[in-house]
């Protein structure tokens, strides 16, 4: 019964989404206030039914209803509760439902926080988001229904892929989707602006907080994914240039460009066409990512079961969405005027360079991801493109970008003098060079790449500090009066420096050892001694574990015990390596069990990973910076005004009652 | 000036064309090294009579199909009715390789869903599966009169694969 309710709810949601996609847009075009006003209730209604469907699926998982095919394929009675819930998005159908659910959340958020916007604009934005929901809901209902029954019901489920049975997976996909789907808001705003023909500073101001919010969540999502693969895959890598990782990274790169170009559009009225195009690209890449992951045109460690019919549907949908928005752009954009003029040396041109570099980076990642497919389609053979390509293309594009982070905030709009920039930046450059020469020696090894990394990180950190100092001095009221959007920007830039430190040092200074260890044997890696104390059998809820014990010593002092595991999941009989990690600010010690090599001896892999946690902390700092800009006075003011207005209405109602 | 704004759409059109072409290709279709090689030999107990063993050598002189299945495999259930149907037509004998399974479960499963197999062989520890390069259940092999593997299908069979690929090949090999 419950699955049928879920199915029905999806059908109703589709009908409401259709209305939501047509009526408000039509109303806005015709100037019909009643039709425009339908946007918010329709969006809320659509979301309610999607949420109902979502909770039905969660319930089917929690109650082990194996008469539902999707549940039978992705759960098991012995599966711990939190993974039953995470199982909802452990496969194709459920992840789509999660996608639509997130889209609904963003739509409702737009409906709630846009009271200060003209009704027409809101109607168009919500309408466009409704059309996207139509695509995904019909995709689900026609090709990938999560509520399909399995008759007769299975006695027991096939269990969730053991790789996905991990706390990281409970949060990673929702975060990632939240970010992905969040770009639909910026996209919808751009299309609404194109439809109305009013591409102006107000449009940019409205899109900015939404773009930054989506970007922040996507940053966290990507970082969580990277962290998950680091500790779960058992070989200590944190980025693989896997097609699915790239699928989330491309929208991130374009989204980062979009944030910067929106700033120019808002403050200077420039780059309008470009900004619209970026907003379209960011969301199109999110859709493309969905296509790549769901259609099975590329092989990937993340690939779910795929089926060509689904691929055709998503490709068709992608073609309609992106094609129609690019056509709308081609038709409308020539009417948009150019923004204010600017000098070759100005903040505008620096931001333009930033945009070009980021888009070029996204383009090269796209090329690398699709290249195997292009060659295959042209009949030129099967190849795979790996990290060497991505590293050698991506890194050289990022180096100038990082130096721009230091220069940009110093530059003035319109025109800035080289001499002044040079005067301000000489300190940062000096400090950076000193750090690049000295720090690697302190850390034990000097190579040109480590030095370059340190130089970049120090450059960014020092300029951020300088910038902030200048700004605080120039602000009456001091630090407390500096607007949050400014602090957020500096914080995000600082996050980049932290990421660079992590990437540089872990790449340049990590040590690893693959050793055969008998009970009582020791091995020394990175100045730490590891003693192998043997392996014992430990039963888990739905797996059998062989748990190793290693004691870590620094000199003679025992620091702690590590318990790497080798698990066999009972249903899928899949062996899994669970690494044991002990982490502090400056290093991770990472131990994973290999294979038993006879008489209680095991092969053991030990890594010393300096500063690796800085990669994810840096990403978290970047995201935090993004969220900080959202708390800026100017957005809060709007909210505050709304609450005050509501409070006044409340009082008035109270008096009337009295 | 105006023509310039159409560029993104044109580039996107080319991209879609490639993606559409990509859909027809299967990146997982790694040409199996076993195609056109003799089927690896084994001797395994029969599911319905564990005292008897069978090896592919006994099947020389006929075209046969080897279907890797297991009672724990949900996708096998999807293709199972197709196999039952195919076995009724008698066009090609189907032998099952019961992969990493428990004998009791396997027998009950065939009881419930029907038995399309001329014989099922028990590969309890999956060792024969390794020889055949099985990396997911179900998989299906077509083996000719000389005992040479002529075709391999990964994943559940579909009516289309049976009608358009497998049966024509069976006829060709029998000719």
Give pLDDT tens digits for B29-51.
555 677 888 888 888 889 888 88
Q: What is the DSSP letter of B165?
A: I
- CA atoms within 13 A of residue A279's CA, in its CB half-sphere: 30
Query: Nearest residue of A to residue B24 by CA position?
Result: A308
Q: Are the beta carbons of A265 and A271 closer than 8 angstroms? A: yes
Domain that holds residue A604: 511-611
In terms of domains, do A469 and A435 share one?
yes
Domain boundaries defined on chain B: 37-174
Question: Which of A144, A161, A178 lies at the terminal end of a domain, its last residue?
Answer: A161
- Note whether A351 and A408 are within 8 A (CB): yes
- Indicate yes or no: CB of B9 within 8 angstroms of CB of A571: no
Cα→Cα distances A523→A530, A534, A610, B97, Å: 5, 14, 18, 45
Q: Are A321 and A135 in contact (CB under 8 A)?
A: yes
Burial status of residue A379 (CB atoms within 10 A of its CB: 0-12, 13-18, 19 or more): exposed
Residue with the bigger pLDDT between A413 and A641: it is: A413
Partner residue facing B28 (CB), from A280, A299, A312:
A299
B35 contacts B108 by C-beta, under 8 angstroms = no
A270 & A127 share domain: no
| Higher pLDDT pick, A404 / A383 | A404
Q: What is the DSSP letter of B59?
A: G
Closest C-alpha to A157, from A107, A219, A90: A90
A451 with A382, same domain: the answer is no
Looking at per-residue confidence, does B75 or A225 come out higher?
A225
Which residue's structure tokens are 């689900």?
Answer: A140
Q: Does B3 lie at the interface with A, CB-CB under 8 angstroms? A: no
The confidence score (pLDDT) of residue A305 equals 43
Q: pLDDT band for A563, please (50, 70, 90 cuts).
A: very high
CB atoms under 10 Å from CB of B107, counted, come to 17
Band of residue A658 on the pLDDT scale cut at 50, 70, 90? very low
B67 within 8 A of B132, measured Cβ to Cβ: no
Same-domain pairing of A269 and A377: yes
**ipTM score above 0.90:** no
A147 and A179 fall within a common domain: no
User: Is a pLDDT exceeding 50 seen at residue A654?
Assistant: no
Q: Which two tokens stand for residue A280?
A: 């379209």
Tell me: do A500 and A629 sit in the same domain. Answer: yes
Residue B45, φ and ψ in degrees, nearest 5: -70, 150
CB-based contact, B19 to chain A, within 8 Å: yes
Q: What's the CA gap between A522 and A476, in Å, rounded? A: 61
Cα–Cα distance for residue pair B45/A366, rounded to 1 Å: 51
In a domain, A106, yes or no: yes
Q: In the structure encoding, which two tokens stand for residue A227, read together?
A: 């962290």
**Which residue do the tokens 């991130």 mark?**
A252
- Give alpha helix (H) positions in B44-166: 74-89, 103-113, 127-131, 159-161
- Rg of the Cα trace of chain B? 20
Which run of H or E residues covers position A8? helix A2-30
* Test mutation, A289, A334, A378, chain B, max B CBs within 10 A: A334
- Secondary structure in 3-state letters for A473-515: HHCCCCHHHCCHHHHHHHHHHHHHHHHHHHHHHHHHHCEEEEE
d(CA B66, CA B97): 7
Q: Taking CB atoms and an 8 Å cut-off, how many pairs form between chains A and B?
A: 77
Q: Taking phi first (over 0 means left), then psi (-120 to 50 degrees means alpha), and beta for anything else, what does residue A55 get?
A: alpha
Exposure letters A88-102 (e unless 16+ CB within 10 A, then b): bbbbbbbbbbbbbbb
Q: Which two tokens stand for residue A644?
A: 């005050």
pLDDT digits over A246-265, tens only? 889 999 999 999 999 999 88
- Note whether A467 and A436 are same-domain residues: yes
Paired residues of A431 in beta bridges: none
CA separation for the pair A516, B51 (Å, rounded):
42
How many whole angstroms separate alpha carbon A117 and alpha carbon A224? 35
pLDDT at position A657: 38
| CA dihedral (A582, A588, A589, A594) positive or negative | positive
Say which residues have a Cβ less than 8 Å from residue B138's Cβ, sequence separation at least 6. Answer: B67, B68, B69, B73, B75, B76, B79, B155, B156, B157
Q: For residue A136, which of A113, A106, A111 has the smallest C-alpha distance?
A: A106
Lowest-pLDDT choice from A25-29, A450-454, A635-639: A635-639
C-beta atoms of B74 and A158 within 8 A: yes
Q: What number is the average pLDDT over the span A450-473? A: 93
DSSP structure class, residue A209: H
Query: What total of structural domains would you count in chain A?
Result: 4
Kind of pairing between the strands at B64-69 and B139-143? antiparallel
Closest CB to A277: pick one of B1, B8, B19: B8
Residue A303 scores a pLDDT above 50: no
Q: Are A205 and A188 contacting, i.e. CB atoms less than 8 angstroms apart?
A: no
3-state helix, strand, coil in chain A (%, to 5): 65, 10, 20
Start-to-end C-alpha separation, chain B:
65
Residue carrying the six token digits 């888009």: A359
Q: For residues A268 and A260, what is the distance between their CA atoms, to the nearest angstrom?
A: 12
Q: Do the chains contact at A315 and B9, CB–CB below 8 Å?
A: no
> Are A315 and B25 inside 8 Å of each other by CB?
no
Say if residue A188 is in the same domain as residue A103. Answer: no
CA–CA min distance B149, chain A (Å): 23
| CATH topology assigned to domain B37-174 | Glutaredoxin (3.40.30)
Identify the residue with better confidence: A261 or A270: A261
Asked whether the whole model's pTM tops 0.90, one would answer no
- Lowest-confidence pick of A161-175, A306-320, A344-358, B87-101: A306-320
Residues 6+ away with beta carbon under 8 Å from B125 = B100
Q: Reduced to 3 states, what is the DSSP secondary structure of residue B121?
A: strand
Shared domain check, A19 and A155: yes
| Average pLDDT of chain A, as a whole number | 87
More confident residue, B2 or B102: B102
Mean pLDDT of B95-124: 89
Say how far apart CA A575 and CA A562 lie, in whole Å.
20
- Mark whether A632 and A589 lie in a shared domain: no
In terms of domains, do A147 and A189 share one? no
In a domain? residue A193: yes
d(CA A408, CA A401): 10
* A375 and A228 share one domain: yes
């Amino acid at each position: 019964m419950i699955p049928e309710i879920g199915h029905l709810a999806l059908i109703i949601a589709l009908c409401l989404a259709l209305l939501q996609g047509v009526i408000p847009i039509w109303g806005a075009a015709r100037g019909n206030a009643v039709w425009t006003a339908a946007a918010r209730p329709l969006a809320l209604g659509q979301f309610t039914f999607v949420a109902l469907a979502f909770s039905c699926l969660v319930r089917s998982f929690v109650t082990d209803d194996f008469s539902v095919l999707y549940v039978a394929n992705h759960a098991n009675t012995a599966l711990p509760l939190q993974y039953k819930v995470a199982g909802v998005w452990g496969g194709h159908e459920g992840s789509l439902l999660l996608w639509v659910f997130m889209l609904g959340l963003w739509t409702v958020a737009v409906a709630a926080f846009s009271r200060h916007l003209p009704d027409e604009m809101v109607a168009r934005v919500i309408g466009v988001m409704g059309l996207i929901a139509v695509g995904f809901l019909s995709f689900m209902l026609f090709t990938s229904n999560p509520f399909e029954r399995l008759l007769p019901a299975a006695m027991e489920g096939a269990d969730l892929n053991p790789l996905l049975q991990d706390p990281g997976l409970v949060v990673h996909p929702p975060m990632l989707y939240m970010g992905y789907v969040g770009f639909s808001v910026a996209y919808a705003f751009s299309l609404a602006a194109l439809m109305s023909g009013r591409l102006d500073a107000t449009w940019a101001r409205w899109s900015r907080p939404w773009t930054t919010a989506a970007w922040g969540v996507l940053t966290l999502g990507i970082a969580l994914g990277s962290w998950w693969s680091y500790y779960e895959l058992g070989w200590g890598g944190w980025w693989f240039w896997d097609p699915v990782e790239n699928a989330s990274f491309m929208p991130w790169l374009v989204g980062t460009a979009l944030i910067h170009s929106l700033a120019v559009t808002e403050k200077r009225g420039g780059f309008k066409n470009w900004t619209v195009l970026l907003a379209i690209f960011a969301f199109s890449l999110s859709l493309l990512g969905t296509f790549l992951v769901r259609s099975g045109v590329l092989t990937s460690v993340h690939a779910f079961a795929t089926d060509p019919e689904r691929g055709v549907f998503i490709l068709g949908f992608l073609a309609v969405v992106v094609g129609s928005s690019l056509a709308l752009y081609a038709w409308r954009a020539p009417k948009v005027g150019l923004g204010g003029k600017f000098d070759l040396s100005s903040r505008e041109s620096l931001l333009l360079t930033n945009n070009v570099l980021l888009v070029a980076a996204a383009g090269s990642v796209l090329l690398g991801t699709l290249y195997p497919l292009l060659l295959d389609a042209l009949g030129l053979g099967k190849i795979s493109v790996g990290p060497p390509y991505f590293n050698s293309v991506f890194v050289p594009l990022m180096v100038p970008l990082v130096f721009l982070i230091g220069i940009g905030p110093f530059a003035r709009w319109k025109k800035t003098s080289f001499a002044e920039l040079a005067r301000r930046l000489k300190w940062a450059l000096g400090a950076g060079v000193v750090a690049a020469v000295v720090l690697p020696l302190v850390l034990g090894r000097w190579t040109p790449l480590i030095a370059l990394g340190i130089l970049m990180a120090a450059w960014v950190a020092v300029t951020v500090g300088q910038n902030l100092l200048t700004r605080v001095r120039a602000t009456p009221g001091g630090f407390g009066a500096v607007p949050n959007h400014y602090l957020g920007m500096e914080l995000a830039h600082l996050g980049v420096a932290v990421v660079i430190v992590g990437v540089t040092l872990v790449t340049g200074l990590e040590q690893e050892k693959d050793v055969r260890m008998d009970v009582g044997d020791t091995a020394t890696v990175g100045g730490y001694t590891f003693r192998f104390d043997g392996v014992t059998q430990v039963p888990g809820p739905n797996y059998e574990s062989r748990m190793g014990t290693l004691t870590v010593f620094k000199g003679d002092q025992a620091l702690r015990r590590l318990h790497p595991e080798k698990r066999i999941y009972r249903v899928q009989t899949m062996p899994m390596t669970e690494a044991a990690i002990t982490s502090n600010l400056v290093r991770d010690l990472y131990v994973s069990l290999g294979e038993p090599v006879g008489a209680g001896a095991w092969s053991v892999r030990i890594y010393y990973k300096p500063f690796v946690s800085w990669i994810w902390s840096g990403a978290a700092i970047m995201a935090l910076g993004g969220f900080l800009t959202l708390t800026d006075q100017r957005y809060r003011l709007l909210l505050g005004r709304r609450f005050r207005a509501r409070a006044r209405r409340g009082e008035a109602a109270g008096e009337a009652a009295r | 000036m105006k023509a310039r704004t159409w560029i993104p759409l044109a580039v996107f059109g080319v991209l879609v064309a490639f993606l559409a072409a990509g859909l027809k290709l299967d990146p997982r279709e790694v040409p199996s090294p076993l195609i056109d090689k003799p089927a690896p030999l084994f001797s395994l107990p029969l599911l319905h009579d564990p005292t008897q063993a069978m090896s592919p050598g006994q099947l020389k002189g006929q075209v046969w199909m080897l279907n890797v299945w297991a009672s724990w495999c949900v996708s096998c259930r999807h293709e199972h009715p197709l196999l039952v149907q195919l076995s009724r037509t008698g066009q090609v004998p189907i032998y099952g390789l019961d992969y990493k399974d428990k004998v009791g479960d396997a027998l009950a499963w065939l009881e419930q869903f029907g038995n399309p197999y001329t014989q099922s062989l028990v590969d309890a520890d999956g060792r024969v599966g390794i020889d055949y390069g099985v990396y997911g259940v179900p998989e299906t092999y077509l083996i000719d009169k000389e005992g040479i593997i002529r075709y391999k299908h990964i994943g559940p069979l579909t009516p289309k694969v049976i009608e358009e690929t497998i049966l024509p090949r069976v006829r060709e090999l029998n000719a």
